[in-house]
Amino acid sequence: MKILFVGDVYNELGQKAFDKYFLNVKNEYKPNFIIVNGENIEKGNGLSEKTYKDYLTRGVNVFTLGNHAFSRPDYKEVLELPNVVRPANYGKNTPGKEYVVINYNGKKIAVINLIGRIFMHDATDNPFTKMDELLESIEADYIVVDFHAEATSEKYALAHYLDGRVSAIIGTHTHVPTADNIVLPKGTLYISDVGMTGAKYGIIGGDVSQGIRKFLSGVPERVKPQKESLLQFNACFLDLEMKKIERINIFE
């Protein structure tokens, strides 16, 4: 099973970078299955049904999300869409699905999204014990986890905790790609962060002057996306049989 995982597509420049590079990457790597983190795809906040449908016609199979899963007014309808997962450890009463299982040529691929708790603001459940719970009930040939988290320590701890129990753990959320694509001792593929798709020169996708102003003044502001920039496209290519995880980092 060959999987392409594209990191957080951020705002209009993210969609522009996706439009520019996705097809070439898809044609070059020929994945069987494609996962996109879409938590920032609409103006930095959440996913819409329109983009969901558009990307599915272009070959995307599943959207994962993150802390922006609930940022749009229509989030409940979006979370109902069949191939969208929100972080499983938000809790039992949270709208949306804890995981999806998709059939591909007779094989079942489970996709799980989890959110970290270190340096994150939402009051979520423990991602480690949530995974124990989910793994008791999920029946699938392959399990891919998007761990949407800030701290590399938490990401590594979860990775080793799940080593040999899931096919791959792909980190998202920091928007900065790491170079630690590795195969863990018991065979799970891992990277701390796949990186983002969007502005090359933003502040992790946000407007540069605003980002600097916030640090100078200390006054919190809601992040505005960077409007113009060269682009970046970041993804990972996973071969689950060959136990291979390759980084795809395009920086214009």
Active site residues: 68
How far apart CA 43 and CA 178 sit, in angstroms, is 24
Please report the beta strands in 16-98, taking only residues with DSSP state E, as ranges in sequence order. 33-37, 62-64, 84-85
How many CB atoms are closer than 10 A to CB 91? 13
Q: Which are the contacts of 54, defined by CB distance < 8 A and separation ≥ 6? A: none
> Which residues would be at the binding site for Fe ion (CB under 5 A)?
8, 39-40, 66-67, 173
Phi-psi region of 173 (alpha: psi -120 to 50; beta: other; left: phi over 0): left
Q: How far is CA 12 from CA 40, 44, 196, 210, in A?
A: 10, 8, 13, 18
Q: Decide whether 31 or 38 has the Cβ nearer to Fe ion.
A: 38
Q: Residue with the closest Cβ to Fe ion?
A: 8
Q: How far is CA 76 from CA 37, 48, 157, in A?
A: 17, 11, 32
Q: How far is the CB of 8 from Fe ion (least distance, A)?
A: 4
How far apart CA 40 and CA 13 sit, in angstroms, is 11
